[in-house]
Amino acid sequence: MAREFKAIAGNITKLNDPYFAEKRGLWVMMVKENDRWIAINSRNEGKIRGYHSQLESQRSAQSLGVKIQVTTLEGNWLRAAEYSAGMMTQDAG
């Protein structure tokens, strides 16, 4: 059973690229969340690079003041929701 990565919910101030630590035989990525460093480890390079990409998107969204939401909407429903949110933003501004 695969172990899940630690969820990073705070403010990401620094995100280092994953690297292979030969002595430990693990991929390591360092994340600075709320001014404290957290090490993320994995034996699977693909999984840690995917998580790095996710955290990079999360950090970019935070810097722009945008909240990322998970949705089950697909296709036309997703486009309709985006259009509606855009219209509400336009009315508020």
User: What tokens appear for 36 in the block?
Assistant: 């404290």
pLDDT of 11 strictly over 60: yes
Cβ atoms of 36 and 14 closer than 8 Å: no
User: What tokens appear for 17 in the block?
Assistant: 């690229």
pLDDT of 5 strictly over 90: no
91 pLDDT tier (thresholds 50, 70, 90): low
- Write the CB contacts of 35 (distance below 8 Å, at least 6 apart in sequence): 13
Tell me the pTM. 0.70
Q: pLDDT of 16-55, one tens digit each?
A: 999 999 999 999 999 999 999 999 999 999 999 999 999 9
